[in-house]
Structure 1
Amino acid sequence: MIREFRLPDLGEGLTESEILSWRVTEGQSVTLNQVIAEVETAKAVVELPSPFEGVVTRLHEAEGTVVEVGKAIISFDVPDAGGVPAPAAPAADAAAQRRQPTLVGYGAEPEKAGRPARRARRGFVSPEPAVQPAPAPVAAEPPVPEAGAESAGTNGTPAVQERPRSTPPVRKLARDLGIDLSTVDGTGPQGRILRGDVEAAILRSSAEPSRTPDRPQPVVADAPHLGQGREERIPIAGIRKHTAAAMVSSAFTAPHATVFLTVDVTASMNLLEKLRSRREYDGVRLTPLVLAAKAVCLALRRHPELNARWDEAAREIVRYRYVNLGIAAATPRGLTVPNIKDAQDLGLRELALAISDLAGTAREGRTPPAALTGGTVSISNVGVFGVDAGTPILNPGEAAILALGAVRRQPWEHEGGIALRQVTTLSLSFDHRLVDGAEGAAFLRDIGDVLAEPAMVLALD
């Protein structure tokens, strides 16, 4: 029996993935759960296991192709119940072939008859952290005529023009960003416009040069000395595409505010040196980022308003009673922000090990999708690049992000005199809808106090 395997949703409603490499060839026998391909989603590189045991009959897509979720990518000749391969199913059984088993972590089975299920309305987030299943697509709404929009009907009478198919949250996002949905091509089922289509549209509009209609553009003659090969065009895809869309959405949705604090962290650097000599920290990579992560978890106990998100649809502020701490990681494929689940429960050693493991997995491109979702607050360690400070952009859905600058020896006031001290600058960006300036400043001050004098944990713990 010929069975097709369709590209599954690998988490959080992703709409497409790029096939990086095939691990099998046509005519090859495969076993159940054998890795058949390596694909790159908008968030991570994922290995696809085979859902069947049989013989590969066809690879539908070439390496390097971006494939939409639900499209067939590979076919298998699967033995029937008696163990003998069956002939290809007739066309009448095509609908049955489209059904495939749901694999672990792959989200829901494709909907039947082309009718997507309606997304359940989100309520208040449970205080206990949990990995939620990938949400089903939102049901397409029936076409609604736009006021005043008419076109000629088939009988010569005016006919109303259909409004572009989308959902209320997507239409609101388009209004907020100033995007006309009639100019957006939908990539969802039956041409429905998805959130990612709106975000891609704002990226395109921001990249296009502005033109003044009543002023002709100057014509510049080709410069012969430029020649060919002086420009390189790189497709916007995968992690970089997702990151760009997320940052544009965050910047246009959440009103950012940033505060800065320069801190003498000599005591913290001395503490790290002492800990490295202890047996229980043997082999553990201790860095200023580890102390900053611990300080963030402690400070959030006193300032829960920074561990929250703005739920526009429910008109609610959701405060978390746990900390899924995101660590921004620069990788060859682009920026990712995997998070450490329940970081508030980890000691300094466990937190250091978790950060090292997270960073190593991200650099290898092996971060699982679950680690890239559900974050509540983030840290960006710009100091590793020799940068003193910055204005970080919020990870979408989070209320705060801390940037940790480089630690430098410089003259500093100390005990009534001037001495060479180790100093760093902290930058905190926050969503001003959720956090007032005074609250953001107090939170940053608490973090700075812990890094300036680690014994302050006794007052905050």
Structure 2
Amino acid sequence: MAHASDGHSLEFKLPDLGEGLTEAEIVRWLVEVGDVVAVDQPVVEVETAKAMVEVPCPYGGVVTARFGEEGTELPVGAPLVTVAVGGAAAVGAGPARDSGGGAAGTPVAETPAAERKAEGSGNVLVGYGTSEAPARRRRVRPGHQAATGASERANGRVRGAEPVDGPVRTAEPVDGPVPVISPLVRRLARQHDLDLRELTGSGPDGLILRADVEYALRAAAAQGGRTAETEAGTSRVPDAASAALSSASAASSAARSDGTRVPLKGVRGAVADKLSRSRREIPDATCWVDADATELMRARTAMNASGGPKISLVALLARICTAALARFPELNSTVDTEAREIVRLDRVHLGFAAQTDRGLVVPVVRDVHTRDAEALTAEFARLTEAARGGRLTPGELTGGTFTLNNYGVFGVDGSTPIINHPEAAMLGVGRIVPKPWVHEGELAVRQVVQLSLTFDHRVCDGGTAGGFLRYVADCVEQPAVLLRTL
């Protein structure tokens, strides 16, 4: 492709789209190679562990390359597109940019930072845009050209684009922290006593991926098997251990070939990681109680008959939770494990479980303690609709301090929910059904609900948890109790 002499190419990389997100899957490309894009025009739709996001490019010009097919999972910092900016429009744009410059235009590395900044939109989203971020250095082995990493990325060697050849061992020490794609990869290496400083990652700028660690572990296992055979004086060929490992893996896969494999990624993977961490780190306990919800249902019916906006049951339960947390603030807290401190939070941000086609998500209603039932009803409806449409932003899925789980919508009476880490408690609400109940000394049919509270035993004892749950039940049975706290 050819550019005007004063034009050059800029590379736009996958930005950090939210708290703790390290990767995203390409769902749909919104532009083709050769298209002219405007500043801040969305170029790709990606799915993170939290939401579906349209990613805008901060540069305007002609798209000269796209990296990754639809369905490819890219780590944060991997190239997304290159855009020819400045001068005349590109002619005959090819499918990929040249890694060495020349015909592909001025390499990104040679473009002055000030010039790149001036050409951007100035609209800095989370972790990217026109603000300059410190570049991560990659240490290369002696004799290895520094352009190798750029050439590999230009040829599509990113996670999911083609098989990873595995890490290259190097004896040269690495200064500073080792760039690793996620804490899970770091923990995997620690569990197997693998020194990450001995690996050169196959990700962008030397980023160490899970595949790199797994490759190193397989290589170490094969090497250990060959060493043991040599010491025992066996007559097996040098690659016997590797062959045995491959055979065992193939046999294991064959044994499970009659099933369907579903990748544990995206929302489902994020849920799995978070729940596993909660079970691993939080010493939780659960208490429960049955409550007569007849009066609460009558109160809601009366409120909705007044002609104003309809009030949802979950909004009333949220108001009850807020009043209970004001009396028992221990449950609106989090544990700082490093400082060994309990942090009691001043504001109540209520998460609520929402089931969607993409899996379970927990949107967060901010500052519940400042909203009335009408405002809460509207916010719950808005977030639920956004969740089902996959339009929740990362900010709407993070920062909760307490969670309300209405599993009664699934037709079940009770549950022992897992705490939404790093919160300290979760209130579960079962279905409300007619049951025989002793009311005012006589047996009657009443609307009964089971309430359960799972709490972090580090932040409080059973007396506090029981007091919280009993107060919630009292408000459900006698809504006038709640009115006295407002």
Same fold (TM > 0.5): yes
User: Could you tell me how far apart the structure 2 residues matched to 1:403 and 1:14 are?
Assistant: 28
User: Could you tell me how far apart the structure 2 residues matched to 1:47 and 1:160 are?
Assistant: 40
The question of 1:234 aligning with 2:254 is answered: no
Question: Which one of the candidate residues 223, 244, 249 is aligned to 2:272?
Answer: 244
* Aligned 8 A contact 2:9 2:106 in 1: no
Superposed displacement of residue 348, structure 1? 0.6
The question of 1:39 aligning with 2:61 is answered: no
Q: What SS is found at the alignment partner of 2:380?
A: helix
Partner of 2:127: 107
Query: Unaligned regions of 5+ residues in structure 1, if any?
Result: 117-152, 202-218
1:217-254 Cα offsets, whole Å, 9 max, x none, are xx9xx9xxx99985211111111111100110111001
For residue 262 of structure 1, what is the amino acid of its counterpart?
D
1:169-202 Cα offsets, whole Å, 9 max, x none, are 969x959x994452999889755699xx99xx9x
Q: Report how many aligned residue pairs link the two structures.
A: 387
Superposed displacement of residue 111, structure 1? 4.0
Superposed displacement of residue 454, structure 1? 0.8
* Aligned 8 A contact 1:164 1:193 in 2: no
Question: Which one of the candidate residues 285, 293, 312 is aligned to 1:265?
Answer: 293
Q: Alpha carbon RMSD of aligned pairs, Å?
A: 3.7
User: Could you tell me how far apart the structure 1 residues matched to 2:291 and 2:195 are?
Assistant: 50
Partner of 2:58: 51
* Aligned 8 A contact 1:163 1:182 in 2: no
Question: Which one of the candidate residues 3, 8, 11 is aligned to 1:4?
Answer: 11
User: Could you tell me how far apart the structure 2 residues matched to 1:38 and 1:166 are?
Assistant: 26
For residue 341 of structure 1, what is the amino acid of its counterpart?
R
For residue 251 of structure 1, what is the amino acid of its counterpart?
R
Superposed displacement of residue 325, structure 1? 0.3
The question of 1:312 aligning with 2:337 is answered: yes
1:268-300 Cα offsets, whole Å, 9 max, x none, are 11111112222222xx3x333222111001111
Question: Which one of the candidate residues 430, 445, 454 is aligned to 2:479?
Answer: 454
For residue 320 of structure 2, what is the amino acid of its counterpart?
A
Q: What SS is found at the alignment partner of 1:263?
A: strand
Partner of 2:394: 369
The question of 1:401 aligning with 2:426 is answered: yes
Pair 110,238 (structure 1): closer, same or farther in 2 beyond 3 Å: farther
Instruction: Give matches, 1:345-424, under 5 Å.
Output: 345-424=370-449
The structure that is helix-richer by fraction is 2
User: Could you tell me how far apart the structure 1 residues matched to 2:256 and 2:469 are?
Assistant: 51
Question: Which one of the candidate residues 313, 318, 321 is aligned to 1:296?
Answer: 321
Partner of 2:194: 182
* Aligned 8 A contact 1:399 1:435 in 2: no
User: Could you tell me how far apart the structure 1 residues matched to 2:123 and 2:137 are?
Assistant: 21
Superposed displacement of residue 103, structure 1? 4.7
* Aligned 8 A contact 2:333 2:343 in 1: yes
Q: What SS is found at the alignment partner of 2:484?
A: helix
Superposed displacement of residue 315, structure 1? 2.5
Partner of 2:97: none
Partner of 1:129: none
Partner of 1:23: 30
1:12-31 Cα offsets, whole Å, 9 max, x none, are 13110001001111111122
User: Could you tell me how far apart the structure 1 residues matched to 2:379 and 2:84 are?
Assistant: 43
Pair 191,319 (structure 1): closer, same or farther in 2 beyond 3 Å: same
State which structure, 1 or 2, has the greater radius of gyration over its C-alpha atoms. Answer: 2
User: Could you tell me how far apart the structure 1 residues matched to 2:55 and 2:480 are?
Assistant: 48
Pair 183,416 (structure 1): closer, same or farther in 2 beyond 3 Å: farther
User: Could you tell me how far apart the structure 1 residues matched to 2:108 and 2:410 are?
Assistant: 60
* Aligned 8 A contact 2:334 2:344 in 1: yes
User: Could you tell me how far apart the structure 1 residues matched to 2:348 and 2:464 are?
Assistant: 18
User: Could you tell me how far apart the structure 2 residues matched to 1:269 and 1:37 are?
Assistant: 47
For residue 78 of structure 1, what is the amino acid of its counterpart?
V
User: Could you tell me how far apart the structure 1 residues matched to 2:190 and 2:67 are?
Assistant: 39
User: Could you tell me how far apart the structure 2 residues matched to 1:89 and 1:234 are?
Assistant: 42
User: Could you tell me how far apart the structure 1 residues matched to 2:430 and 2:340 are?
Assistant: 36
Partner of 2:459: 434
* Aligned 8 A contact 2:11 2:108 in 1: no
Q: Runs ≥4 in structure 1, deviation > 3 angstroms?
A: 83-105, 108-113, 159-167, 177-181, 183-194, 226-230
Instruction: Give matches, 1:155-174, under 5 Å.
Output: 165=178
1:350-394 Cα offsets, whole Å, 9 max, x none, are 011111111111111111111111110001110000011101111
* Aligned 8 A contact 2:331 2:459 in 1: yes
Partner of 1:209: none
For residue 55 of structure 1, what is the amino acid of its counterpart?
V
Partner of 2:109: 93
For residue 112 of structure 1, what is the amino acid of its counterpart?
P
Superposed displacement of residue 49, structure 1? 1.5
Partner of 2:158: none
User: Could you tell me how far apart the structure 2 residues matched to 1:65 and 1:304 are?
Assistant: 45
Q: What SS is found at the alignment partner of 1:358?
A: helix
Superposed displacement of residue 50, structure 1? 2.3
Q: What SS is found at the alignment partner of 1:112?
A: coil
Q: What SS is found at the alignment partner of 2:194?
A: helix
Pair 401,29 (structure 1): closer, same or farther in 2 beyond 3 Å: same
* Aligned 8 A contact 2:61 2:84 in 1: yes
User: Could you tell me how far apart the structure 1 residues matched to 2:352 and 2:397 are?
Assistant: 10
User: Could you tell me how far apart the structure 2 residues matched to 1:310 and 1:227 are?
Assistant: 44
1:9-64 Cα offsets, whole Å, 9 max, x none, are 00113110001001111111122222211111111111112212212111111111
User: Could you tell me how far apart the structure 2 residues matched to 1:51 and 1:26 are?
Assistant: 17
Q: What SS is found at the alignment partner of 2:53?
A: strand
Pair 111,260 (structure 1): closer, same or farther in 2 beyond 3 Å: same
